[in-house]
């Protein structure tokens, strides 16, 4: 991939940087600023080199038109606090305000244009529409830097098309992500353990299939575990279940057996009668889930089992929580997995999204993990071996 060095001297030049600022909000309050902090190395490096830094990003899904609740105003405020300067936010993405903000930038200054998804062309399936928008982005700057790893798996105007309009390079975050994830896909140190959670098996079918050829152990938790338990013939009560994936999962269990890949499933489950923080929680064996109960976390025996399977890992990747970690009563499994990874001596990757949020929410020291990815979907697709358009367009 083209590096920042390939852009040459950036002093006095306007550099358009695509960051990933899709942060969780509670009203106007950012509840996890991890993605903003992850963008700082590239932004401060460019600013210190005398570039005029114009940042673009998305937040939420505003359906192709301006929506005040998805404004990047809270991001501009927090970014300003972190970089120690006022970060001006343009009122639009490529309109008069954006042009004015770009034109008034001084060397070393950082500014932000409004949410790129306020323009429907950003995510259009029509190449010509995206290309036209990319031309307007390009008119704002001299150079382009791709540093939003969370979106590199998308063929979008600010990720893919813009890289064809301006001299382009990957930022430090994107390089770090690719380098770290490559350690888990190219001849990983073994035992190579992958922990998969989250709600749906269907979201992770491709990565499971790919990992059956690479991993030594797969630990399955979260809502997707119940489709695996059903595939083993167990009742799952009112737990999350993808009935149409049961046969596919049966096939994966057979393939794993043939290849000597260990698939570890919950032996007990924390259940409740409804999906509520204060619902009465009880622990039952995984083969004895009552019909009127839903599984909302792996149980304490499972947590202990999973921790023991992580302990000797030389490479461990985790994507997706083990339960509803946002509710205290159902956070035990996720906490146990994070603790085991934190305590381990192997190379540990937290694969973005809810897993990264869980690490921070549950109060773990991020420095005890080798790498915390900023891109849940992008890291999954990388592990799946898919082509990432936002990366391939930057290759030399």
Last residue of a domain, one of 121, 144, 171: 171
Strand partners, 270: 283, 297
- Residue 365 in marked binding region: no
353 is catalytic: yes
Tell me the average pLDDT across 256-273.
97
Query: Can you say whether the dihedral through the CA atoms of 198, 199, 204, 209 is positive or negative?
Result: positive
Cα angle vertex 176, ends 175, 179, to 5°?
A: 85
Using only the alpha carbons of the chain, give its radius of gyration.
22
Q: How far apart are CA 193 and CA 190, in angstroms?
A: 8
277 and 347 together in one domain: yes
226 and 364 together in one domain: yes
- Residue 22 in marked binding region: yes
CB burial readout 57-73, b (16+ within 10 A) else e: bbbeebeeeeeeebbbe
From the candidates 35, 121, 165, 230, give the one annotated as an active-site residue. 35
- Residue 187 in marked binding region: no
Q: How far apart are CA 329 and CA 323, in angstroms?
A: 10
200 is catalytic: yes
- Residue 190 in marked binding region: no
Q: How far apart are CA 87 and CA 54, in angstroms?
A: 10
From the candidates 80, 206, 377, 385, give the one annotated as an active-site residue. 377
217 and 293 together in one domain: yes
84 and 24 together in one domain: yes
For residue 262, give both structure tokens: 């260990």
- Residue 35 in marked binding region: yes
- Range with the lowest mean pLDDT among 22-26, 52-56, 189-193, 376-380? 376-380
Last residue of a domain, one of 120, 147, 171: 171
- Residue 355 in marked binding region: yes
- Grouping H, G, I as helix, E, B as strand and the rest as coil, residue 166 is coil
176 is catalytic: no
- Residue 130 in marked binding region: no
144 and 273 together in one domain: no
8 and 58 together in one domain: yes
- Residue 354 in marked binding region: yes
88 and 232 together in one domain: no
Asked whether the predicted pLDDT for residue 69 surpasses 70, the reply is yes
Asked whether the predicted pLDDT for residue 80 surpasses 90, the reply is yes
Q: Domain span at residue 17?
A: 4-171
Domain assignment present for 124: yes
Domain count, the chain: 2
Asked whether the predicted pLDDT for residue 377 surpasses 90, the reply is no
136 and 188 together in one domain: no
Within 10 Å of residue 258's Cβ, how many Cβ atoms? 9
Kindly state the greatest CA–CA separation across the chain.
67
Task: Quickly state the pLDDT bin for 395 (edges 50, 70, 90).
Answer: confident
213 and 143 together in one domain: no
CB burial readout 14-41, b (16+ within 10 A) else e: bbbbbbbbbbebeeeebeebbbbebbee
> pLDDT at position 282, please?
97
pLDDT, the chain, mean: 95
34 is catalytic: no
Asked whether the predicted pLDDT for residue 299 surpasses 90, the reply is yes
Asked whether the predicted pLDDT for residue 202 surpasses 80, the reply is yes
Last residue of a domain, one of 139, 171, 203: 171
Percentage of the residues of the chain whose pLDDT score is greater than 90: 87
- Angstrom CA distances, 29 to 55, 73, 80, 92, 315, stand at 20, 10, 15, 21, 36
> pLDDT at position 184, please?
86
Q: What is the DSSP string of 238-277?
A: TS---GGGHHHHHHHHHHHHHHT-EEE--SEEEEESSS-T
- Angstrom CA distances, 60 to 54, 146, 325, stand at 20, 19, 22
206 and 336 together in one domain: yes
Domain assignment present for 77: yes
Domain assignment present for 390: no
362 contact partners, CB below 8 Å, separation of at least 6: 325, 331, 334, 335, 338
- Angstrom CA distances, 230 to 71, 266, 330, stand at 43, 12, 21
| CATH of residue 159 | 3.40.50.1260
Asked whether the predicted pLDDT for residue 396 surpasses 70, the reply is no
Domain assignment present for 20: yes
161 and 191 together in one domain: no
Domain assignment present for 391: no
Domain assignment present for 293: yes
From the candidates 197, 344, 353, 390, give the one annotated as an active-site residue. 353
- Residue 153 in marked binding region: no
275 and 305 together in one domain: yes
From the candidates 2, 200, 214, 301, give the one annotated as an active-site residue. 200
Domain assignment present for 395: no
Asked whether the predicted pLDDT for residue 241 surpasses 80, the reply is yes
Asked whether the predicted pLDDT for residue 352 surpasses 90, the reply is no
Domain assignment present for 389: no
């Amino acid at each position: 991939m083209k590096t920042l060095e390939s852009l040459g001297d950036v002093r006095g030049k306007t550099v358009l940087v695509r960051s990933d600022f899709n942060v969780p909000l509670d009203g106007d309050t950012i509840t996890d600023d991890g993605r903003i902090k992850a963008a700082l190395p590239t932004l401060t490096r460019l600013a210190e080199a005398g570039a005029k830094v114009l940042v673009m990003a998305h937040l939420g899904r505003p359906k192709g038109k301006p929506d005040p609740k998805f404004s990047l105003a809270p991001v501009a405020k927090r970014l300003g606090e972190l970089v120690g300067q006022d970060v001006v936010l343009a009122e639009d993405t490529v309109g008069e305000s954006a042009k004015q903000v770009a034109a008034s930038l001084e060397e070393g200054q950082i500014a932000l244009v409004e949410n790129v998804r306020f323009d429907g062309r950003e995510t259009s399936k029509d190449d010509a529409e995206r290309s036209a928008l990319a031309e307007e982005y390009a008119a704002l700057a001299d150079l382009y830097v791709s540093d939003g790893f969370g979106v590199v798996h998308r063929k979008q105007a600010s990720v893919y098309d813009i890289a064809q309009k301006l001299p382009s390079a990957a930022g430090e975050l994107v390089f770090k992500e690719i380098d770290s994830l490559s350690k888990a896909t190219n001849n990983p140190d073994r035992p190579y353990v992958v922990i998969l959670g989250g709600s749906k098996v269907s979201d992770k079918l491709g990565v499971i299939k790919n990992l059956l050829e690479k991993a030594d152990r797969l630990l399955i938790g979260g809502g997707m575990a119940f489709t695996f338990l059903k595939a083993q013939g167990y009742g799952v009560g009112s737990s999350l279940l993808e009935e149409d994936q049961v046969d596919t999962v049966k096939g994966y269990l057979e393939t794993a057996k043939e290849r000597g890949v260990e698939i570890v499933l919950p032996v007990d489950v924390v259940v409740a009668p409804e999906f509520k923080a204060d619902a009465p929680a009880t622990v039952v064996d995984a083969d004895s889930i009552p019909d009127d109960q839903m599984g909302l976390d792996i149980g304490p025996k499972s947590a202990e089992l999973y921790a023991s399977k992580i302990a000797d890992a030389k490479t461990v990747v985790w994507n997706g929580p083990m339960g509803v970690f946002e509710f205290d009563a159902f956070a035990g499994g996720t906490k146990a997995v994070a603790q085991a990874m934190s305590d381990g001596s192997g190379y540990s990757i937290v694969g973005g999204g809810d897993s990264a949020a869980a690490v921070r929410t549950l109060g773990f020291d991020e420095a005890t993990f080798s790498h915390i990815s900023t891109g849940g979907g992008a890291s999954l697709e990388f592990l799946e071996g898919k082509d990432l358009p936002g990366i391939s367009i930057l290759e030399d």
